[in-house]
Amino acid sequence: MRRSRSPQDSGPADLDELKALEERKRALEEQIQSISAEPEKILREAQEQAATLPPPDDLADRRRLREFEEVVSRRQVRNERRTQGRSLLLLLLLLVATALLASWVLKLFVG
């Protein structure tokens, strides 16, 4: 026949089983909440992605152009300095030639 359990015999086993069931219920509720939040998260990510501008197609071209202009501007500076140096030399030669010509003219009139 069936043996009836006394409340003392089944107490700790039932309590452990009840705690395990409550823990499983809590875990399932957390999982349901996290899954129910997924569509909102996906929608928010899609909106952020739509609002973000993609990089321009000519970004690499712009970078190459900027580097080229930097190199060209350095060359231009070097060429300008060289040209100014030559111009200064020509100016000094012109001043020396003018001074010599002036002294020669003075020697002719004075002497």
* Residue 45 and residue 73 share a domain: no
The pTM is what?
A: 0.36
Q: Which domain holds residue 70?
A: 59-111
Tokens of 24: 């499983």
Query: In the prediction, which pLDDT does 1 show?
Result: 45
Q: How many domains does the chain have?
A: 2
Local structure of 74: helix, strand or coil: helix
pLDDT in tens, the chain (111 residues): 455 555 555 667 888 899 999 999 999 999 888 888 888 888 888 888 888 877 777 888 888 889 888 888 888 888 999 999 999 999 999 999 999 999 999 999 997
Q: Say yes or no: 111 and 63 in one domain.
A: yes
Q: Would you state the pLDDT for residue 26?
A: 94
Residue 84 included in any domain: yes
Residue of 68, 78, 9, 5 whose CA lies nearest to 86? 78
Return the pLDDT at 51. 82
